[in-house]
Structure 1
């Protein structure tokens, strides 16, 4: 059995996947809003240790069809190492249909088009990417290490290579000062990428609001519940997606939204408007629901 290096994180959709830690921590680990791997120093695990974890699960080889490569951005590994890991997974799990991982744009840009296609052919079918925002000014304020162009270019290359994308935008990330531009430019970058899956989370403060403000490069004024939902309205209004599955149903979200673009766009906007048209009663109801 596998002895994981805690803390261990995975996307909600990987609940039934086998998790293999190819790396520990996050190679960037500077984003102002993120504390997921603050207790870990990044390192790439030795290949023999990764293979030992895979081998330990071989008695259950027919049970697993999906594998998630942890931690924060396993895609940072070299093409050669990732290729060998995928080969080992395919050899061990005969029913394997998908391997996925977290990634940042730099990880993708470090691979050639041919390398990306080869990884996809070997089973790397899905990458989870926290875009956070499409606004360059805000991305600089949170020390994301990426911008609109670097992110959109890298993710379009991944899609062209046959790798599906699940991208995330962080509602409320810039507070009141950035809200409008954050919403509009986030929609613009998502429109350019056209990901298969899109989700939103709400900015949270695991170590307190003051801790986040100290790391934020600028003035930060948090949004209240209704302002967060108003920001979501602007974001969704500006989305022009041809075929994307949308989820805004994480525990951090006040208003649960689910649908497919473009089919359900207006229905989601109607749901948002029903809240914004009666903000006083809606805020009480939403906060009560979130506390359940």
Structure 2
């Protein structure tokens, strides 16, 4: 028997808490492809899946997962699609999956800008209920150096629109991105911005540099110096200490030498105590050896 196959190209990523969601490709690769540190979509050019291809995949999903309740649209940032294209996708989802409760996707901060609050509300009405956004940091110097293509003020402005539209969003913070000596500034700047917003989850991932990235070559030629592991722990501690919003913290990614999870404000004291213990007890050489053993995210 020959089983039908879905149209997946290149790398396919999803957040760990979307493990029960049905995956559906609407884009592949990334629209930006300029972040110095990133190798997640290396070698995969950006492509928008034709609506005919999306519909064909939904027919297969309806056949094999007719009661699918949650769908995650794959690609580095499917939210780059126009409002009209996203509405077409949402209509197809509702047509083929009558039990659909919600769908979500990754986005860049800049993907939100072309969409009005009213359009975002319409997408929410069509069951878009969560977006995952790699803000990385709100430290402007680091954003510029890493060629993210936006500033801290853009993070505040665009994510505020999601708050107004009542679309839940989760952000990714890239610990250590500023390089040696910049950890505290990055943590403080990011906490200041996030304290004005309402993210559901803050995912903390620690920078791990791979040969496919531009930043790898800057390390080799000495123009970028990685942030020491103890400084990274201090950075994470500072971020959590300065946050005064109600939010879930997920820091159990393989890249984190001290994995943590918790909910603020209730778990703040316990989390800070855990970092204090690690900073006092773990030698830098041991933590660095752990990072050097990470070969893939």
TM-score (norm 1): 0.92
Matched, 1:198 2:198: no
Q: Is the 8 A contact 1:174 1:220 kept in 2?
A: no
Separation in structure 1 between the aligned mates of residue 101 and residue 213 of structure 2, nearest angstrom: 41
- 1:66 and 1:209, CA in 2 relative to 1: closer, same or farther beyond 3 A? closer
Matched, 1:17 2:21: yes
- 1:119 and 1:21, CA in 2 relative to 1: closer, same or farther beyond 3 A? same
> Structure 1 residue 285: deviation in Å?
7.9
Q: Is the 8 A contact 1:177 1:220 kept in 2?
A: no
Matched with 1:271 is 274
Higher deviation after alignment, 230-239 or 202-211:
202-211
Separation in structure 2 between the aligned mates of residue 138 and residue 211 of structure 1, nearest angstrom: 13
Separation in structure 1 between the aligned mates of residue 235 and residue 219 of structure 2, nearest angstrom: 22
Matched with 2:216 is 212
Matched, 1:119 2:123: yes
Encode CA deviations 1:215-257: one digit per residue, 9 max, x unaligned: 99x942212322211111111111111x211110011111011
Separation in structure 1 between the aligned mates of residue 77 and residue 256 of structure 2, nearest angstrom: 24
Separation in structure 2 between the aligned mates of residue 272 and residue 125 of structure 1, nearest angstrom: 33
- 1:229 and 1:18, CA in 2 relative to 1: closer, same or farther beyond 3 A? same
Give secondary structure in 2 for the equivalent of 1:193.
coil
Matched with 1:94 is 98
Q: Is the 8 A contact 2:208 2:291 kept in 1?
A: no
Q: Is the 8 A contact 1:90 1:96 kept in 2?
A: yes
Matched with 1:131 is 135
Higher deviation after alignment, 61-70 or 228-237:
61-70
Matched with 1:85 is 89
Q: Is the 8 A contact 1:142 1:215 kept in 2?
A: no
> Structure 1 residue 57: deviation in Å?
1.1
Separation in structure 1 between the aligned mates of residue 154 and residue 227 of structure 2, nearest angstrom: 28
> Structure 1 residue 74: deviation in Å?
0.4
Matched with 2:80 is 76
Matched, 1:171 2:175: yes
Give secondary structure in 2 for the equivalent of 1:57.
helix
Extract unaligned runs of 5+ from structure 1: none
Q: Is the 8 A contact 1:254 1:287 kept in 2?
A: no
Higher deviation after alignment, 39-48 or 245-254:
39-48
Q: How many residues align?
A: 289
Give secondary structure in 2 for the equivalent of 1:145.
coil
Matched, 1:259 2:262: yes
Give secondary structure in 2 for the equivalent of 1:126.
strand
Separation in structure 1 between the aligned mates of residue 33 and residue 81 of structure 2, nearest angstrom: 16
Q: CA RMSD in A?
A: 2.4
- 1:43 and 1:285, CA in 2 relative to 1: closer, same or farther beyond 3 A? closer
Separation in structure 2 between the aligned mates of residue 91 and residue 58 of structure 1, nearest angstrom: 10
Separation in structure 2 between the aligned mates of residue 13 and residue 208 of structure 1, nearest angstrom: 27
- 1:135 and 1:150, CA in 2 relative to 1: closer, same or farther beyond 3 A? same
